[in-house]
């Protein structure tokens, strides 16, 4: 797998997908805090 998150050529894609994630979190009443509650240390 090749991580392209910091690749300038993919900046527009990262912005678009980040905005979609924000919208989906609102729609489904999700949050980053809830994500962290399911991560096992």
Phi, psi of 15 (to 5 degrees): -60, -45
pLDDT at 41: 61
Q: Contact, 25 vs 31, CB < 8 A?
A: yes
**Per-residue pLDDT tens over the stretch 1-26:** 999 999 999 999 999 999 999 999 99
pLDDT of 29 over the 80 cut: yes
DSSP letter (8 states) at residue 4 = -
pLDDT at 2: 94
């Amino acid at each position: 797998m090749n991580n392209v998150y910091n690749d300038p050529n993919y900046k527009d894609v990262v912005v678009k997908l980040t905005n979609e994630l924000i919208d989906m979190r609102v729609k489904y009443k999700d949050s980053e805090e809830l994500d962290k509650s399911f991560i096992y240390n």
